[in-house]
Amino acid sequence: MKREPSFLEALLPILFLIALLTLNVIFFDDTLAGSNQVALLLAATIAGIIVRRNGQAWDKTMENVVNTIGSAMPSMLILLLIGSLAGTWMLSGIVPALIYYGLDIINPQIFLVTAVVVSAIVSLATGSSWSTIATIGVALLGIGKAIGMNEAVVAGAIISGAYFGDKISPLSDTTNLAPAMAGTDLFTHIRYMLLTTTPSFILTLLIFLVIGLNYNFAEAVVDVADVKSAIHGAFNTSPWLFVVPIILFVIIIKKVPPVPALMIGTLLGGLAAIIFQPHIVEELAGNVSNYAEASYVSFMQAMFGDIAIVTPDADVNELLHTSGMAGMLDTIWLILSAMVFGGIMESGGLLARLTRPIINWANSTGSLVTSTVVTCIFFNATASDQYISIVVPGRMYRKSYRDKGLKPEVLSRTLEDAGTMTSVLIPWNTCGATQSRVLGVGTFDYLPYAFFNLISPLMSILFAYLNIKIRRYQTAEVPVKED
The pLDDT value given to residue 291: 92
State which H helix or E strand residue 237 sits in.
Answer: none
Contacts of 260 (CB under 8 A, 6+ apart): none
Give me the phi and psi of 107, to 5 degrees please. Answer: -80, 120
How much is the average pLDDT of 140-144?
89
What pLDDT does residue 266 have?
92
Separation of alpha carbons 118 and 352, rounded Å: 40
What is the per-residue pLDDT for 131?
A: 78
Stretch 84-112: mean pLDDT, rounded? 85
**Distance between CA 8 and CA 129 in Å, rounded?**
37
Res 483 pLDDT > 50? no
Mean pLDDT of 454-478: 86
Cβ pair 275, 93 in contact under 8 A: no
- pLDDT tens profile 287-316: 888 999 999 999 999 999 988 888 887 767
pLDDT at 251 over 60: yes
In 3-state terms, the chain is what percent helix, strand and coil (to 5)? 80, 0, 20
295 vs 320, residue with greater confidence: 295
Give yes or no for residue 332 having a pLDDT over 90.
no
Rounded mean pLDDT of the chain?
A: 86
pLDDT of 410 over the 60 cut: yes
The domain segmentation of the chain, as residue ranges, is 72-328
- Residues 86-105 have a mean pLDDT of 85
Q: Is the dihedral of CA 386, 388, 391, 393 positive or negative?
A: negative
Q: Give 105's pLDDT tier (boundaries 50, 70, 90).
A: confident
User: Has residue 415 got a pLDDT over 50?
Assistant: yes
Average pLDDT over residues 48-59: 91
* Cross-strand pairs, 322: 307
What's the predicted TM-score (pTM) here? 0.75
